[in-house]
Chains A and B, each alone.
Chain A
Amino acid sequence: MTPDDIKLIVAVCRQRAGLNIDPAKTYLIESRLGPLARRESYGSVSELIAGLRARREEPLIWALVEAMTASETAFFRDRTPFNLFRDEILPTLTRMRGPEPIRIWSAGCSTGQEAYSLAMIAEAGVGLEPGARVEIYGSDLSERYLEKAQAGIYNQFEVQRGLPIRMLVDYFEKVEDSWRLSPRIRGRVRWRRLNLAGDLSTVGRFDVIFCRNVLSAMDESVRPKVLEGLAGALPADGFLVLGQGESPLGLTDAYRPISGRDGLYARNPAFRVAA
């Protein structure tokens, strides 16, 4: 790859999806785009970029941006936010909403582990009112990650990172050397492709949005817009859950932190979504 190739990759990712790609990490760019180059029958990443320059095809541009998104995730990653969801957020919401469905959104869900973790908590239903309805939605920019999420099939390493063994035997079935989530859990989650850096005004309403380890991969300039787009999807009593080290403070006044609850933010009632 030439410096111009890298410049083009960085610019396309920022422009299309707000991604912040470090141009110094050439090995990372090579390793993420290598498989795409092979799939598209190019001899190398350099040839892929040359093809992109020559033909400027939208599907290829998006395939490149998707390939550059990070996939790092795990069941019950960091544990604390999921305990908070199980012990406080979900019981409170089900009391408040009664028979109305509670809608949870895993925004930037990658290969689906976060959405399924939430689905397993909802399925266990500890402390929930009888008849409570919990709907879970997962979205990601990458079609390939969404395909894997939808299949709900994980290898032995993936199911041993953060997933308690009791949940593995209760909610998964073994298929050859892999583990597949049971139809009940898979049936609880709806998936869709969505670019968080795009227009979020029509995504619908969600009571809780998990958007963890997504903002930190985005360019600083797009973070306020993304956070405000998410705020527009929250009702006045909705919550946003961010990843470790992520915060809306100083970027937008759309949220206020919940004291003593790391990473949990309530929508600021004074904030109005721009029309």
Chain B
Amino acid sequence: MKTCLLVDDSRVIRKVARRILEDLGFEVAEASDGLEALAWCRAAMPDVILLDWNMPVMNGLDFLRQLRTEPGGGAPKVVFCTVESEPARIREALAAGACEYIMKPFDGDIIQAKFAEADISARETVAI
């Protein structure tokens, strides 16, 4: 089963997103800021990261930039999920290595559509 690390400082958002991700077939881990997320990644690199931008301690963009310099940190597909919706900010996120970008508010259909755009599936791909 593929793992998705869910990073958001709002417990309510985490609860809603966890339900959606579990329905899509992911094993879900949670972190409430970028530093906590980094600790998770150093212990066990997830397949996918759903990432908020504005969080205390370490924000999502700083986390992503740091992640991409870590050993194995280039592998996870990172999808932002944030209230930030200015084109300049979105470009910044893409330049830092985000694969897709969700503007809040979101629902299950949007997460599903955006994961499809980024070729993210909960199923393991079998090498032939």
Residues of A within 8 A of B (CB): 79, 156-157, 160-162, 164-166, 168-169, 172-174
* A162-B87 in contact (CB<8A): no
User: Assuming A160-B113, A169-B87, A173-B87, what are 9 further A-B pairs, CB within 8 angstroms?
Assistant: A156-B85, A156-B103, A157-B110, A160-B110, A161-B110, A165-B117, A168-B87, A172-B87, A174-B85
Main secondary structure, interface of B, reads: helix
Q: Number of B interface residues at 8 Å Cβ cutoff, please give it.
A: 17
Rounded to whole angstroms, the CA-CA distance of A169 and B87 in the bound complex is 6
Q: Is B26's CB within 8 Å of the partner chain A?
A: no
Identity of the chain B residue whose Cβ is nearest the Cβ of A167 in the assembled complex: B117
Residues of B within 8 A of A (CB): 85-87, 90-91, 94, 100-103, 106, 109-110, 113-114, 116-117
Instruction: Knowing A160-B102, A160-B110 are in contact, say whether A174-B87 is a contact too (CB < 8 A).
Output: yes
Contact partner, A174, options B86, B101, B113, Cβ 8 Å: B86
Instruction: Knowing A156-B103, A174-B85 are in contact, say whether A162-B113 is a contact too (CB < 8 A).
Output: yes
* B110-A166 in contact (CB<8A): no
Contact partner, B94, options A157, A160, A165, A172, Cβ 8 Å: A165
Instruction: Knowing A157-B110, A160-B103 are in contact, say whether A169-B91 is a contact too (CB < 8 A).
Output: yes
Q: Please, which residues of chain B bring their CB within 8 A of the CB of A174?
A: 85-87
